[in-house]
Structure formats: structure tokens, C-alpha cells
């Protein structure tokens, strides 16, 4: 699946709001080719599902506890970030990121 117009709302630089997410992954930069965590490094992905509410990504290599990431709108300028073991499982790690201006 290719990147759609609504996906660009997720693109940009994000800062971890929740302490657990910031400690494990650091800041996040998300673009049409990869996720870049300041602590965990670069992760290329494939978009499995995308709509106005969330994106489901399959990573080319695992990050900590899983190979799938779900990004969803949480509040204005914030997104929920979840790592999944499979594309249908419950999150094994999650947190909140805030858009950096």
C-alpha cells in the first residue's frame, strides 16, 4: 500500500510525552520512507492499513517487542504510538508522542 494524503498528518518530528516511550525510543522522526528513533535508530516500513484515524505499519526489522506499529490520533498535536507483535495483537509497548513545531 502506498502513502495516502491523510498519512502526511503523521509525518514530521515528534517528542515522547510519556516517560516510558521517551526512555525506550527517544524522539521520533517519521517520513514517507522510514521511522527514525533517536535511541533505537532507523526502521523502514510498509503501510498495511491507513485511514484518517490511524496507520498500521509493518517494520522491515523488529523494534524491541514487535514488528508492527500502529500510529493513531490522540489529541491535537499528539499521537498514540503502539508496538504490536502481530498486526492483530494487543500492544506490547505504547505511549504518546507530541508534534514538535
Between 83 and 18, the more confident residue is 83
- Considering the entire predicted model, what is its pTM? 0.83
- Model confidence pLDDT, tens digit, residues 77-87: 888 989 999 98
Q: Look up the CATH number of the domain holding residue 48.
A: 2.40.128
Long-range contacts of 37-43 (CB under 8 A, 24+ apart): 37/63, 40/64
Q: What is the pLDDT of residue 52?
A: 77
**Domain count of the chain?**
1
The mean of the pLDDT values for the chain is: 85
- Residues 69 and 50 sit within 8 Å (Cβ to Cβ): no
- Residues 29 and 12 sit within 8 Å (Cβ to Cβ): yes
Q: What is the pLDDT of residue 65?
A: 87
Q: Which domain holds residue 79?
A: 5-99
Q: What is the pLDDT of residue 7?
A: 53
Query: Comparing 4-8, 72-76, 90-94, which segment has the lowest mean pLDDT?
Result: 4-8
Q: What is the pLDDT of residue 5?
A: 40
- Model confidence pLDDT, tens digit, residues 31-51: 989 999 999 899 999 999 988
Amino acid at each position: 500500500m502506498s502513502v495516502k494524503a491523510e498519512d502526511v498528518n503523521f509525518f514530521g518530528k515528534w517528542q515522547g510525552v510519556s516517560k516510558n516511550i521517551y526512555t525506550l525510543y527517544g524522539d521520533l522522526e517519521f517520513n514517507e520512507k522510514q521511522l527514525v528513533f533517536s535511541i533505537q535508530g532507523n526502521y523502514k516500513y510498509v503501510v498495511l492499513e491507513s485511514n484518517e484515524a490511524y496507520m498500521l505499519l509493518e517494520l522491515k526489522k523488529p523494534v524491541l517487542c514487535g514488528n508492527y506499529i500502529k500510529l493513531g490520533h490522540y489529541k491535537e498535536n499528539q499521537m498514540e504510538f503502539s508496538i504490536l507483535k502481530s498486526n492483530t495483537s494487543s500492544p506490547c509497548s505504547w505511549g504518546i508522542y507530541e508534534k514538535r513545531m
